Amino acid sequence: MVILLLIKETILPYKKFILSGVIIAMKHLSVTIALLVVAFSIFINIGCSSGQVHQAQPIRFVIINNTSPGSPYETLPSQLEHTILSINKENPVFTIHSGNIIHGGSLAMGINLIDIEKQFRQFYKYAKKLNSILFTVCGPLDIYNDSTALYTQFTQKDPWYSFNYGTNHCVVLYSESKSSLSISEKQLLWLKEDLKKHSYAHTFVFSYFLPAIHRSKQQFINDTHQNLHKLLMQYNVKAFFGTAEFTQPVTIGTIQYIPVTCDNNYANKYKKSIRYYVVDFDGQYITVVPRYF
């Protein structure tokens, strides 16, 4: 009891000083906490707004093309069903048909609307057997009367569009030319905005045609394709897939230009051909394996 009285008498003169010190300390603590909250908030905002690339997500997909018959009046080959069942065994997350689904043309060539519609219906009769999601590219033979309207009607896809799978972003381009890659100004503006919007992602580009490349020199033949490459290089584009005269991938900068030309019209039933490609991305490396039969 005596000890408690002594402590009380000792502390009492300094009561105001002690309370003042506690209040000041608490104020400093509050300011420190507030500064930490602001700093953490700034850190989060910078991280979200900088468009930093997300961690890569492994993915497997299949690319197929050139299922068009020899003429608009022929039916799609029945062997296509076997190809689709083979694709199912690969267990891809999606299958992309990168062009020339059917054999189009124009009324001036004597090709009627019914000929085009019949081919699309035949293709989707087989495509329904796919276990994976189907995405399509409009190839040079997929148009009628120089219009993509029927292609969009049957595929439910615009000539150019994009889609995501996890942290992977896929861009589908449409060539205005029937013989080489030619992208309209309108499409190019869309592409710039789409790449900017998805700058956080690992991006794959699909078109029927690859840009024209001097494979031995590893450079582009024309300035238009060089400028397209410069645009793609600003973002995390991993690969560009399409048909080309060369058969081996070409790496320019950090982008792989990968030829994926298939033969699915079965014109020569005695010859084995590449029917589709299996693409694996493990988050860092891309592996492309052709399937022959």
pLDDT above 50: residue 27: no
The answer to whether residue 174 is domain-embedded is yes
Q: Are residues 78 and 121 in the same domain?
A: yes
Name the residue type at position 221: I
Q: pLDDT tens-digit profile of 202-227?
A: 999 999 999 999 988 889 999 999 99
Q: Are residues 19 and 128 in the same domain?
A: no
Q: pLDDT tens-digit profile of 86-103?
A: 999 999 999 999 999 999
Whose tokens are 């896929």? That residue is: 170
Degrees, nearest 5: CA angle 111-71-208: 100
| Domain limits for position 105 | 59-292
Q: Are residues 117 and 86 in the same domain?
A: yes
Q: Are residues 41 and 66 in the same domain?
A: no
Q: pLDDT tens-digit profile of 245-272?
A: 999 999 999 999 999 999 999 988 788 9
**Average pLDDT rounded to a whole number, residues 60-64:** 98
Q: Are residues 260 and 145 in the same domain?
A: yes
Q: Are residues 15 and 97 in the same domain?
A: no
- pLDDT range class, residue 11, cuts 50, 70, 90: very low
**Average pLDDT rounded to a whole number, residues 180-186:** 98
The answer to whether residue 113 is domain-embedded is yes
Q: Are residues 109 and 248 in the same domain?
A: yes
Write down the pLDDT at residue 38: 35
Write down the pLDDT at residue 7: 36
Write down the pLDDT at residue 216: 81
Total domains, the chain = 2
Q: Are residues 84 and 217 in the same domain?
A: yes
The answer to whether residue 54 is domain-embedded is no
Query: Are the beta carbons of 236 and 203 closer than 8 angstroms?
Result: yes
The answer to whether residue 135 is domain-embedded is yes
Pairwise CA distance, residues 156 & 153, whole Å: 6
Share above pLDDT 90 across residues of the chain, in percent, rounded to a whole number: 77
What's the whole-number average pLDDT of the chain?
A: 86
Write down the pLDDT at residue 56: 83
Q: Are residues 67 and 202 in the same domain?
A: yes
Q: What is the pTM of this model?
A: 0.82
